[in-house]
Amino acid sequence: MGIHCRINLKPPPNGVFLSGSVITGEIKYAVDEVTSLKQITLSLKGIGTLRMKKRSASRHEKSKVIYRTEEYVNIKQVLLNKDNGDGNLEIGSYTTPFKFEIPERIPPSADIFRKQGNHTLRYKVEYFISMKFEKTAFFSFTKRFRKDIKVLSDIIPTLPRDAMIFGERKNLFQPFSSTDSIVNLKSTILSSVVRAGDTIQFEYEIANNSHVTVKSVETKLIELVKSKKRRSHITFTKSIDGTDSKSGSIENGKSQQMITDIRVPEDAYTINACNLAERSYAVLITVGLPMPHMNFELTIPVEIMLKSDNVVEIAGEDAPPSYWDVMCEDKKELEMNKNDLDGE
């Protein structure tokens, strides 16, 4: 008994919506008894949350927690308002078409959890269609229905698309010698901007003018996630599986030149249109040195845009509905549960 609702979307070709595109569909709802309502509201909502936690080393001290939220879209359509007339909803079924335009330059849907040392980060962006029935009775709960949607948003590149040269050098300690002991690393990347699913192409050269043998040179793609809060200096680093390669040793007085490429995963993309957090990528070249010397690294930033297949327009509005999805929540706020953000 009560209110029943179904939210139908006309889906895009790849199952995701792009920023700047149009969402269309229809709402079907029904009541099996005369229901007094204050208001019926249909909305497109987008909410981001960031939760960072620093676990205390002492069990007698409380962990430090930062929690922030951000709203990206909140477009409402009022379907019924008691102030404008009769607030009674008669027994029967109702159908209402809807159309929403997703704003440009909003962050894409995301659910990222990272842990590094005693720090954890949970960054989440959700978009959904909401249908809310507000009852007039004081002790009656508001009925909410929700349909989640996945939104992708491309970036405006800030890095150059032309070839760029990067370099790093390591001066090794050599006792009882006045001769410099240096390992030079130089790398050229053809373009710092690529699309997901494409290839990052670069070359590097090692000149081992030191007194030791370089053990190895490792290359890989890494992901870097960090809060945009000014007081936070923690960057959560993660190696991307399947992107690493390793070369052999280089004797002192020798050089090595390698041409390398890294295939970018299709689900990787840079996130920067957000005031809560950002996700970036870089090529990491690590030169392995023997003990007691420390390895040294060269980091080459790259920006990853959406996969080419996703940069398409939404299907025409005349496409027929393909499915119905239902979700009803009683007495529940339409925002993320903070308890779920612990990720533990």
Give the pLDDT confidence of 149-164 residue by residue, as tens digits. 999 999 999 999 999 9
d(CA 262, CA 243): 6
pLDDT averaged over every residue in the chain? 84
Three-state DSSP state, 61:
coil
Q: Residue 330: what pLDDT?
A: 37
27-85 pLDDT tens trace: 999 988 888 888 899 999 999 999 998 887 777 778 888 899 999 999 999 988 877 65
Dist. CA 330–CA 126, nearest whole Å: 20
Cβ contact 14:325 at 8 Å: no
Comparing 88-92, 240-244, 261-265, the range with the smallest average pLDDT is 88-92
Residue type, 14: N
The span from the CA of 106 to the CA of 102, in Å, is: 9
Give the model's pLDDT for residue 57. Answer: 73
| pLDDT of amino acid 176 | 74
pLDDT of residue 83: 73
pLDDT of residue 294: 92
On whether the CB atoms of residues 25 and 10 are closer than 8 A, the answer is yes
What pLDDT digit, counting tens, does each position of 161-214 carry? 999 999 999 998 877 777 788 999 999 999 999 999 999 999 999 999 988 999
Secondary structure (3-state) at 48:
strand
Most confident region among 77-91, 97-111, 140-154 by mean pLDDT: 97-111
Separation between Cα atoms, residue 120 and residue 167, nearest integer Å: 32
Average pLDDT over residues 313-327: 34
| 303 or 1: which leads in pLDDT | 303
**Interatomic CA distance for residues 88 and 39, integer angstroms:** 10
Q: Which domains does the chain have, with CATH numbers?
A: 3-153 (2.60.40.640), 164-305 (2.60.40.640)
Question: Looking at the whole model, is its pTM more than 0.75?
Answer: yes
Name the band, by pLDDT with cuts 50, 70 and 90, for residue 138. Answer: low
